């Protein structure tokens, strides 16, 4: 639930976990939530153990553009996994998100590069990945702390090479 800016010439903006194909707009054309996307299990492995989530898979530009905008608060073990493609530094924002999120920025090998915790609802402030990532898992705000997630922990899903 955010705005994404890639390192490439085409800056992207993820509004509320939303990947846009252009820089942030003053008036977004998206005005409602998208239907529920295909869900898959995602496991976050921390020092406290393996924590299972059901994540909607945002694997295309249109799905990423809408992301979790206009959605109600996420249940404790739900989220959205953004499959971004080649490694890149990225930036998200929280426009059109009424509740905080935790954003786990994930490297190609599944390790967490950084975590943005309890992001500010409706904010257009950029939230940087802190390094090259290929995926972002967005979960309910505060959930990363509840499971003890830290940079260096692992996210397991076939997108990151896990069977």
pLDDT of residue 21 exceeding 70:
no
In a domain, 5, yes or no: no
Tokens of 61: 């530009």
In a domain, 45, yes or no: yes
In a domain, 6, yes or no: no
pLDDT at 17: 39
Tell whether pTM > 0.85.
no
In a domain, 122, yes or no: yes
Beta bridge partners of 105: 114, 136
Is pLDDT larger for residue 47 or for residue 33?
Answer: 47
Domain holding 83, by residue range, is: 14-23+38-160
In a domain, 9, yes or no: no
When divided into structural domains, the chain yields a total of 1
Quick one: pLDDT band at residue 35, thresholds 50, 70, 90? confident
Is pLDDT larger for residue 140 or for residue 70?
Answer: 140
Residue-wise pLDDT for 64-122, tens only, equals: 777 888 888 889 999 999 999 999 999 888 888 889 999 999 999 999 999 999 999 99
Burial 110-133 (b: 16+ CB within 10 A, else e): bebbbbbbebebeeeeebebeebb
In a domain, 147, yes or no: yes
CATH number of the domain at 103, please.
Answer: 2.60.120.1140
In a domain, 136, yes or no: yes
Beta bridge partners of 45: 50, 154
The residue written with tokens 């998208």 in the block is: 34
């Amino acid at each position: 639930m955010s705005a994404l800016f890639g390192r490439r010439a085409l800056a992207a903006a993820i509004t509320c976990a939303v990947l846009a194909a252009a820089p942030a707009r003053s008036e977004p054309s998206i005005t409602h939530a998208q239907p529920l996307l295909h869900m898959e299990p995602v496991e976050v492995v921390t020092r406290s153990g393996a924590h299972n989530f059901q994540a909607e898979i945002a694997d295309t530009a249109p799905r990423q553009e809408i992301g979790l905008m206009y959605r109600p608060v996420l249940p404790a073990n739900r989220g959205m996994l953004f499959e971004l493609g080649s490694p890149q530094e990225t930036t998200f924002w929280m426009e059109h998100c009424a509740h905080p999120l935790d954003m786990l920025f994930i490297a190609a090998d599944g390790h967490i590069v950084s975590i943005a915790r309890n992001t500010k609802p409706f904010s257009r402030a950029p939230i940087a990945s802190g390094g090259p990532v290929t995926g972002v898992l967005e979960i309910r705000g505060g959930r990363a702390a509840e499971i003890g997630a830290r940079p260096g922990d692992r996210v397991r899903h076939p997108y990151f090479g896990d069977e």
